Homo-oligomer: A and B are copies of this chain.
Amino acid sequence: MSIRIGIFGYGNLGRGVECAVRQNSDMELAAVFTRRNPADVSILTEGVPVYHASDATNHTNEIDVMILCGGSATDLPNQTPELVSLYNVVDSFDTHAKIPEHFANVDAAAKKSGKIGIISVGWDPGMFSLNRMYANAILPQGSDYTFWGRGVSQGHSDAIRRIAGVLDAKQYTIPVEAALKAVRAGENPELSTRQKHIRECFVVAEEGADLSRIENEIKTMPNYFADYDTTVHFISMEELKREHSGIPHGGFVIRSGQTGWNHEHSHLIEYSLKLDSNPEFTASVIAAFARAAYRMAQKGESGCKTVFDVAPAMLSAESGEALRARLL
């Protein structure tokens, strides 16, 4: 019997989950829920119903795990506790500072309903967190570094689009090569914000707009750009669509640590991702954790979990025997 997956919210992430479910032969897509008019939403999988989000209460017998594909700012803080009252759920809540609060809310609701809610699944938080955690447990003495990119930052692209005279924009976050090199050389550098990442912006301006004003507004924007070395390229709408329509991302998690009686030996643990599609990769991680949510629920567990709480074997469609023989 397949694990029946529901998708709650059908944007880039929801479509990514739909693709991921198709790649996992022990899963099937059972339904998609949307806040739009379901008749207006056309999905990729044939024969799967699209329901309105408000109908979620009526389909609890058809879905084993509901994957929540809303945003962290306003959707998930409410949706995850609400839906874990009805379903086992997985979300990708990524506001790092608010994870403890979100965990507490989801945990209370999940313990009440007897369901499993795995939160903050994806790559950061998610696989990057796991690698930070494993590396810290292995090397108690050391320094942690996380670099993001080269990749598109949606929030920073949106910030540029709000500037008067800007028609469209894409912003790439790029790790500073010299900083990566120093970390990999075991130099344990203390790195400022500016020393870790640069920001590259591709901007389509209105005809006749004051380009130097726009460039200045971008480069001096507090929080978003002021603390970084930022470059701005003005390009045509055609070039933006042709060259910058993808959603690539990635990054590096590095721990540089020491062992030995007098800490005389150095070690470097590095985990990196290079992703053509940020939402599809995030969705692929989520699909694996949906399998784990299903299995934990089958075992009678309940409550809020994170990637730290899930034994790795629970993520795989393969048996313990097969994993030991093939991948150990």
Where the two chains meet, the residues of A that have a C-beta atom closer than 8 Å to any C-beta of B are 16, 18-20, 22-24, 44, 96, 99-100, 103, 120, 125, 127, 129-134, 136-141, 184, 250, 259-261, 265-277, 280-281, 283-285, 288, 291, 306-313, 315-318, 320-321, 323-325, 327-328
**Copies of this chain:** 2
**Cβ 8 A contact of A141, one of B23, B261, B324:** B23
Q: In the complex, what residue of chain B is closest to A287 when comparing beta carbons?
A: B138
Shortest C-beta distance, A20 to chain B (Å), equals: 7
Given contacts A276-B266, A328-B308, contact A284 B134 (CB under 8 A): no
Bound CA–CA A128/B283 (angstroms): 23
**CB-based contact B140/A134 at 8 Å:** no
> Are A277 and B261 CB-contacts (below 8 A) given A24-B140, A308-B320, A325-B99?
no
Nearest-neighbour CB distance to chain B for A307, whole angstroms, equals 7
Closest chain-B Cβ to A73's Cβ sits at a distance in Å of: 18
Q: Is the interface of A mostly helix, strand, loop or mixed?
A: helix
- Tell me if A288 and B138 are in contact (CB < 8 A): yes
| A100 in complex: contacting residue of B103, B313, B324, CB < 8 Å | B324
B306, A280: Cβ atoms closer than 8 Å: no
Inter-chain contact B312/A133, CB cutoff 8 Å: yes
Interface CB pairs A-B, < 8 A, 29 = A16-B259, A22-B261, A44-B261, A99-B328, A120-B328, A125-B328, A133-B313, A133-B315, A134-B312, A137-B291, A138-B284, A138-B285, A140-B317, A259-B280, A259-B284, A260-B280, A265-B280, A267-B274, A267-B275, A268-B272, A268-B273, A268-B275, A270-B273, A271-B272, A308-B316, A308-B328, A309-B311, A309-B320, A310-B311
Given A138-B285, A267-B275, A271-B271; A99-B324 close (CB under 8 Å): yes
Contacts A23-B259, A316-B133, A324-B306 given; indicate if A276 touches B280 (C-beta within 8 A): no
Chain B residues lying within 8 Å of A306, measured Cβ to Cβ, are 324, 328
**How many Å lie between the Cα of A291 and that of B23 in the bound state?**
36
- Closest approach, in angstroms, between the C-beta of A299 and any C-beta of chain B? 13
Determine which of B127, B273, B291, B311 lies in contact with A311 in the assembled complex, contact meaning CB atoms within 8 Å: B311
Most buried by B among A250, A275, A308: A308
* CA of A270 to CA of B325, assembled, Å: 22
A272 to B252, CA, bound (A): 11
Q: What's the nearest-Cβ distance from chain B to residue A60, in Å?
A: 27
Task: Give the nearest-CB partner of A262 in chain B.
Answer: B19
Q: Are B284 and A273 in contact (CB under 8 A)?
A: no
CA distance A17 to B266 in the complex (A): 16
Closest residue of chain B to A94 (Cβ to Cβ) is B328
